[in-house]
């Protein structure tokens, strides 16, 4: 069951500059940074609030690390902005399987490793009203 | 102080169809619906989780009610997808004033009425890394 807004993924050209914008404008601090080589992104997670399911909601700021990454291609087409949204669940495997059975395209055969050791998958934006939608099970839950 | 992700605003051509997608795919139910004549939108709020500041996070599904509304123009240009993100605060007046003083363009001179009797304002997306950003104080806080 999807039980929280886990994060909003925001694509940017310059991660350090964008982190500084969110810090100086709103006071949001970096909770975690990492490079995901598979996704071709360098990212910063800013924790905004905790949630009633025992998790939290983050902004995920994403800078591409190579020109052939999906985020780099998305930025070239769209410019900076909201790239995807993510819902948190205790069981991404079961939920993505159930959603696939409803006819929504799930982009990975099996969930992969996401931010902070989570397990993630994505749903096709054309099946979700134009919204690239991620499902996340955080590391402590799987 | 901004203390939660209040909502993600998603623009759509057909509100009823989009509400049904979120219900049948994820189990998210409608918490509230209203028409905002000033904004030129019909909207449904889906409550996803409660937040550690005593508020909640929603999806806000938006269908334009007239062709000259900003959401209608946005849809004509971009198609369906994430239209804006919103952060919750106890004092939208103070926070928007402080953010204006930092050089970020605030779109309203004074906050206006938003969903469920809230007070809202918007920040210019060109000053926010391509992200149309709303600030919200919920009705019970103002």
Residue B92 has φ and ψ, to the nearest 5°, of: -65, -30
Tell me the per-residue pLDDT of B63-79, one tens digit each, with 9 for 90 and over. Answer: 999 999 999 999 999 99
Whether B142 has a pLDDT exceeding 90, the answer reads no
Chain A closest-CA separation from residue B117 CA (Å): 22
Cα separation, A137 vs B26, whole angstroms = 15
Find the closest chain B residue to A89 by CA distance. Answer: B26
> Is A43 an active-site residue?
yes
Q: Compare CB distances from B52 to A8, A18, A49 and report the shortest one's residue.
A: A49
Whether B7 has a pLDDT exceeding 90, the answer reads yes
Query: Residue by residue, what is the 3-state secondary structure of B68-106?
Result: CCHHHHHHHHHCCEEEEEEEEECCHHHHHHHHHHCCCCE
Query: Residue by residue, what is the 3-state secondary structure of chain A?
Result: CEEEEEEEEEECCCHHHHHHHHHHHHCCCEEEEEEECCCCEEEEEEEEEEECCCCEEEEEEEEECCCCCHHHHHHHHHCCEEEEEEEEECCHHHHHHHHHHCCCCECCCCCEECHHHCEEEEECHHHCCCCCEEEEECHHHC
Q: Compare CB distances from A57 to B5, B21, B128 and report the shortest one's residue.
A: B5
Q: What is the mean pLDDT of residues B38-52?
A: 96
Tell me the per-residue pLDDT of B91-111, one tens digit each, with 9 for 90 and over. Answer: 999 999 999 999 999 999 999
Chain A positions in Cβ-Cβ contact with residue B26 (cut-off 8 Å): 2, 87, 99
What residues of chain B have any CB closer than 8 angstroms to a CB in chain A? 1-5, 8, 10, 12, 18, 21, 24-28, 48-53, 57, 59, 79-82, 85, 87, 99, 102, 104, 125, 128-131
Find the closest chain B residue to A14 by CA distance. Answer: B129
Tokens of A141: 């839950």
Cα separation, B122 vs B71, whole angstroms = 14
Whether B51 has a pLDDT exceeding 90, the answer reads yes
Mean pLDDT, chain A, rounded, equals: 97
Task: Tell me the ipTM for this assembly.
Answer: 0.97
Is residue A106 a contact partner of residue A118, using CB atoms and an 8 Å limit? no
> Is A83 an active-site residue?
no
Tell me the per-residue pLDDT of A33-84, one tens digit each, with 9 for 90 and over. Answer: 999 998 899 999 999 999 999 999 999 999 999 999 999 999 999 999 999 9
Mean pLDDT, chain B, rounded, equals: 97
| Domains within chain A, CATH numbers bracketed | 2-141 (3.10.180.10)
């Amino acid at each position: 069951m999807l039980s929280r807004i886990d994060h909003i993924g925001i694509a940017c050209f310059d991660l350090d500059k964008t982190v500084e914008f969110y810090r100086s404008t709103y006071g949001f601090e970096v909770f975690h940074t990492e490079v995901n080589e598979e996704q071709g992104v360098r990212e910063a997670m800013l924790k905004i609030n905790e949630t009633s399911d025992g998790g939290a909601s983050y902004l995920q700021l994403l800078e591409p690390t190579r020109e052939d990454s999906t985020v780099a291609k998305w930025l070239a087409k769209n410019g900076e902005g909201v790239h995807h949204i993510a819902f948190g669940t205790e069981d991404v495997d079961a939920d993505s399987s159930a959603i696939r059975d409803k006819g929504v395209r799930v982009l990975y055969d099996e969930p992969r490793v996401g931010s902070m050791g989570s397990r993630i998958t994505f749903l096709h934006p054309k099946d979700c009203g134009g919204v690239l939608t991620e499902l996340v099970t955080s590391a402590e839950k799987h």
